[in-house]
Amino acid sequence: MPTPRETILAALLARLSTLPATVLRGEVLPERVPAGGLVILRDGEPGEPEVTLSPLVYHYQHRAELEVIVQDKTSPDRDADFDTLTANIGAAIATDQTLGGLCDWVEAEAPRPVDLPVEGGQALKAAVIPVVLHYSTTDPLG
């Protein structure tokens, strides 16, 4: 049986899979970025939990990350494509910020730009978007 952490990350991946981009989890950056863009979910860090005693419960603010990359050579405006993709990510998360009741709250933070030059090719437009998953569990390994 999967842990609450794994269940929540799988639910986030499923939510993001509705995007018109290729969505992967924990993969390396492929040689070619698909035309609709690429989103890679990184599991991130659960961090130090707040602990409630009696009953014993661990409250996490788990910081996952989304690597968002756009390189569509057929599009005249890569910046607009990138902006649309990040807005779609926000909308996908906002449709259910508890992921079906699996966590207390999910919130995305502002994108942090990343420079990804490509030798002999068009540069990639990319950013890392932190996603904070607020959840509680009775097992610190869960």
Residue 114 has pLDDT above 90, yes or no: no
Whether 129 and 8 have beta carbons less than 8 Å apart is answered as no
Give domain 4-137's CATH superfamily.
Phage tail protein-like (3.30.2000.10)
| pLDDT score for 31 | 83
pLDDT at 10: 97
Q: Write down the pLDDT at residue 141.
A: 86
pTM: 0.91
Mean pLDDT is lowest, of 49-58, 112-121, 123-132, for 112-121
CA distance 27 to 83: 23
- Among 57, 48, 60, which Cα is nearest to 5's? 60
Q: Which tokens in the block code for residue 30?
A: 């492929």
What per-residue confidence (pLDDT) applies to 13? 98
For residue 9, report the phi and psi dihedrals to the nearest 5 degrees. Answer: -65, -40
